[in-house]
Amino acid sequence: MPAGNHTGGALVEVPEHLLKRSADRRKDLGASTGDEPAAEAPPSETSAAPAVAETQAPAAAAGPSLPELPDLEPEPEPQPEPVKPWVQAALSRKKIPVWAVPVLIFLPFWAIIFAGTLESPERDSEIIAMGREVYDGSGGCAGCHGAEGGGGVGPALSNGEVMATFGDWRDHVIWIVNGSPAEPGTLYGDNNEVSLGAANGMPAFGEDLSAREILAVTYFERVEIGGADEADLHDLEELFEAEGVVPSQFAIGQTFRSTLSGLLSTAGVGAG
Ligand code: HEC
């Protein structure tokens, strides 16, 4: 009777076959006997134990290695080389300000444009070149009016003088063609200049110079000497450049303000 030994004498009397039957009954109902949990528990404990051991093992393995890391770091890093003074200067120098960037980008274009203005196309135009040649050479104008138009035998043309006399370039052209009026004391020009007369005054150039040369020297005297605005002489320049419009010569003695106006309209310039 081993089952009743530790329970005391009161239960000794329970017949063994009843205990057995009770045990079987409980077994049939699925209830575990007092011994079974002990048999099943060990597997669960043993399966949990390795899991704990596994989770702890890495920590235990990492534990010892952590102290070693500081040993690697103390390697003294190479000290950066001392910055050279000139490098320091370059680093501390002021950089190009933002606003200057577009200016710097545009600078080459500006230089090209500016260089273009130095060689003004008008300065090299045919009408200026021909006018200068007449004034200095074939017309001999410089001999009496000065190389720069400052005056001599003839009156000064520079500093707007010629513009004051002939506000309209067509009167200027007619003057060069005809020269001084025959009679001394005759008034001429917009400001009523008193003429020396043909004998002592300005020679007529209608026969010595071509019509285009007279147009050219008129343009030259007004723009290069008189200081006229080239824009105001646009029609004169167009007449000079119009093909087959300007006659070979302007006839002396002709009062051809209207003739010039007709030529301008023929040339399509249109200025009356
Ligand atoms: C021989 C000297 C001489 C030469 C050469 C000469 N001129 Fe004159 N020019 C004069 C004199 C003198 C006058 C003043 C006219 C007068 O008093 O009647 C004058 C006046 C003028 C005027 C009017 C200026 C003013 O404000 O009164 C113009 C314009 C002019 N000349 C242009 C020319 C041109 C262009 C040439 C060359 C094609 C030329 N001259 C050659 C002596 C000359």
Any domain includes 192: yes
Any domain includes 221: yes
Any domain includes 100: no
Does the pLDDT value for residue 40 go beyond 60? no
Q: For residue range 97-123, list pLDDT tens digits in order.
A: 888 888 889 888 888 888 777 655 545
Terminal Cα distance for the chain, rounded: 153
For position 73, what pLDDT does the model report?
61
Range of the domain at 210: 126-266
CB atoms inside a 10 Å sphere around CB 144: 15
* Ligand 1 atom nearest residue 186's Cα: 18
CB atoms inside a 10 Å sphere around CB 128: 20
Query: pTM for this structure?
Result: 0.61
Q: State how many domains the chain has.
A: 1
Asked if 149 and 226 count as a contact pair (C-beta separation under 8 A), the reply is: yes
Any domain includes 112: no
Any domain includes 215: yes
Asked if 136 and 216 count as a contact pair (C-beta separation under 8 A), the reply is: no
Asked if 216 and 131 count as a contact pair (C-beta separation under 8 A), the reply is: yes
- Nearest by Cα to 227 from 164, 177, 147, 139: 164
Does the pLDDT value for residue 57 go beyond 80? no
Does the pLDDT value for residue 62 go beyond 50? no
* Ligand 1 atom nearest residue 193's Cα: 27
Any domain includes 109: no
Residue 161: which H helix or E strand, with range? helix 161-165
Any domain includes 257: yes
Residue from 202, 250, 252 to probe ligand 1 pocket by mutation (most atoms less than 8 Å from CB) = 202
Question: Tokens for 241?
Answer: 């450049």
Q: Can you give the CATH number for the domain in which 153 is found?
A: 1.10.760
Measuring from each residue's beta carbon to the nearest atom of ligand 1, which residues come in under 6 Å? 134, 139-141, 143-145, 153-155, 157, 161-162, 165, 172, 175-176, 180, 189, 193, 195-196, 201-203, 205, 217, 221
Q: For residue range 162-198, list pLDDT tens digits in order.
A: 999 999 999 999 999 999 999 999 999 999 999 999 9
Any domain includes 49: no
Measure 155 CA to ligand 1 centroid, in angstroms. 7
Nearest CA to ligand 1 atom 32: 176
For position 71, what pLDDT does the model report?
61
